[in-house]
Amino acid sequence: MTGLAENTRRQVTEFGIGVTLVAPGRVETPFWDGNGSLPPGHLLTADQIADTILWSIRQPAGVDINTVVVRPIGQPN
């Protein structure tokens, strides 16, 4: 995904378009249902990810947020 985002950024930047890659850590979603339970530790909520995306697109004109890594506190890499 990082390569796709960077390639897209290079193709559209001349048109004044920014591309932001949001890389979330563990998020409480139905994704975990197949594993039988949620992973241990803190998880982010969908609302927290949405707030992060809104923050990135609300930056002033001319600001391009390239990559945002969002993890719950205590999540290892």
pLDDT at residue 7 in the model = 96
What amino acid is encoded at 11 in this protein? Q
pLDDT in tens, 9-53: 999 999 999 999 999 999 998 888 887 888 888 999 999 999 999
Rg of the chain, C-alpha, whole Å:
15
pTM: 0.81
pLDDT value at residue 37: 81
pLDDT at 6: 94
How far, in Å, are 5, 44, 60 from residue 47 at the CA level? 23, 8, 22
